[in-house]
Amino acid sequence: MNRVLAAMLCVLVVTGCNEKKVSGSVKKTADRSRRLTILAASEASNIRDADARLTRQLNIAEQVLARFGAQEALTVLGEADKTLRTVGPQLSSHARISGWVSVSQLARRAMGTEAAKAATREAQRELEALPSLAERCQYVMGVAEEVSQLQGEADGAAVLVKGGEWVAAIEDATERRSARLAFAVALFNLDAYDNGVATLRLERDPIWTSDTMLALAAPAPGDSAGSYAPEAPANAYGRPVAYEKVFQGSMSNSRATH
């Protein structure tokens, strides 16, 4: 009898030790961490400030992708997609375009091709909806980069060709030529040489066009052949729209301009 009681007492002690006590500390497990992180992303959809909401959702999506995998990350990106569709008008044009590009970038990393394509279409729609042609030029390079990465070089070149046509709306000659040069160089990088030359010619200054192409034709490193061309110009124009530049590393507000 004593042995039976002792055995029952041991079972009770062991059972009591394994119980989930209300007053116990949070037990850190992989499953709990995954669930709470995804719930945190869902809760972020209640943040009133649209920019802060989107910024937090995108950063959580990146964390989820790194820690828990693609499927969970795509779930969180779905929340960011909803934010852009429902409160997008509260965001600046820079934040909206950057938001869609960022959703596409992160979805590509998560192998969510369809989600990425949908986001890229929205980025292009937002770009072409801007009433100012000159303002559109600020986002051409970033959108074209994502389109090229996702849909191929031909589609990326098509965005750049449109940008080359919009450049005429830029009144300042120096800025206009900087934009035209950037789009042309990008087209050359995509092996779309005819389109690149056509973009330069839209400036209607053959001397500038010729000098620009000579500069871009500067000898490659190690090429000792003489050349008339000066040093090739830098290819930088427009506002950044990539996730790393606009949203990454923040849980409050993006670095988008107004």
Structure tokens at 195: 């389109």
Q: What is the dihedral of CA 65, 70, 76, 82, to 10 degrees?
A: 130
CA distance 147 to 159: 8
Query: What pTM, to 2 d.p., does this model score?
Result: 0.85
Residue among 121, 97, 104, 126 at smallest CA distance from 238: 97
DSSP structural state of residue 172: S
b/e sequence 7-24, b meaning 16+ C-beta within 10 Å = eeeeeeeeeeeeeeeeee
Ordered by start, the domain boundaries in the chain are 132-217+232-249
Q: What is the pLDDT of residue 18?
A: 59
CB distance 152 to 163 below 8 Å: no
Alpha carbon separation from 176 to 16, 31, 121, 129, 193 (Å, rounded): 75, 54, 26, 21, 20
pLDDT of the chain, 258 residues: tens digit per residue: 566 555 555 544 555 555 666 776 777 888 888 889 989 988 999 999 999 999 999 999 999 999 999 999 999 999 999 999 999 999 999 999 999 999 999 999 999 999 999 999 999 999 999 999 999 999 999 999 999 999 999 999 999 999 999 999 999 999 999 999 999 999 999 999 999 999 999 999 999 999 999 989 877 666 655 554 445 455 679 999 999 999 999 888 899 987
Q: What is the pLDDT of residue 229?
A: 46
Question: Residue type for 22, please?
Answer: V
The DSSP annotation for 16-59 comes to HHHS--TTSPPP--HHHHHHHHHHHHHHGGG-SSHHHHHHHHHH
DSSP 3-state helix, strand, coil percentages of the chain (rounded to 5)?
70, 0, 30
Q: Cβ(239)–Cβ(94) under 8 Å?
A: yes
